[in-house]
Structure 1
């Protein structure tokens, strides 16, 4: 198999991918701490992008819309240890801490191959060889150790980890115009804008006078047209960055809207 995931605990996993690339659209329910052993991870957000190579350690905060692309590199698979930092576990941790987090914008944190974090996550590797269940008390210790290290090396991290608020109701038009390229379920778009699915659909139609599905497809195809004609990008290099699951679906939808395939457009 190209993609394998080995869990030693529901919150701790080792992934190993050897195909061409593996893409996922993310707005995780938990914070995700990742130690990338080999390969490359590209994280694309509305405002900026990140590229992490082997040895990197980074944190993706919860509810961050992003396209994540994992790629084998230099003959090695994409291999990573990932630890979920759930709200429940973080509440338990901060119940015993005198933390006064400042308000800060949530962002991707890069720890630049920090030895403390790397050694903490590397110490999990032998446990993936175990046949029996990973003891919960040891898992709790390892996760608490990781949280403590994060707090020791970044003074801004409490503002993210100790923030347990749910998304507030925000400006729907501004949010969707900024994040339309992320292939999320409508329920997730609703949650991130502080709305139920029903309210999201109602407010969306009131704002755009079109259904969310039709609007999203139209906006993604317009972005594709711009990337093909103005940036001279290839169809195979853009379809997964603008919210399409595969190249054939993208080509079909593009031809239906513009009367020619992406390849035909570039030939013109």
Structure 2
């Protein structure tokens, strides 16, 4: 395994904005509280050399409407660095959004501020920010297309078969693939039920390998950060039964990945103190390699 020289991240800086952030239709962050937020997240494992998409869903964190209080803003900056040369990130694209108490303003270019410094060596914006206001659900959608370094790593999910006709919730898989996906979920559930860490490490091998390569660590160290390990140690949490009745299919990353959900949450979830209405969800995303489904992200 060779860590990628280029380290791609997003910097999120905001105030009084509830926000969901997705890269290529894969949700990487959400924050729905009042007040300030500031953090940096690695995103290299979700990227491809061309035709990437940054998507924000934004709404006021201070009220139940779609008009923002004074001082609200949400800056999501796409940035990168050469990890062999510097620790300093350089911006190359993103969305710096400054909404206010005016819907028309909030879906106009006036609400966007130019990113101060752009380093086109790492990538570039493609076109302008696209806006959409969802009046019924009281939120705004903003999309920025972008490209990155043309020589960046091509991950296994990029060359996997397309699974669906559209991104998001879509129809079930064909019977052969459906049974293979159910089998993969059953295998994961069995390993979780037995708390078989060696089996879990094997099932998450591809995810750990590629995410480690993107983030500059080792697969072993990356696997140790898997949230499942903390869940399995929590005495208040117990694995919920697995049922494939009435499952829903959710597709992401160019329709190359699929996750299963039940009527409320992810098919894999854990009850807190044995209460069915209090649970912790876990969302594995699988790709199809032509024979079986593999946990990719």
Which structure has greater strand proportion? Answer: 2
Taking structure 1 as the reference length, what is the TM-score of the superposition? 0.31
Which structure has greater helix proportion? Answer: 1
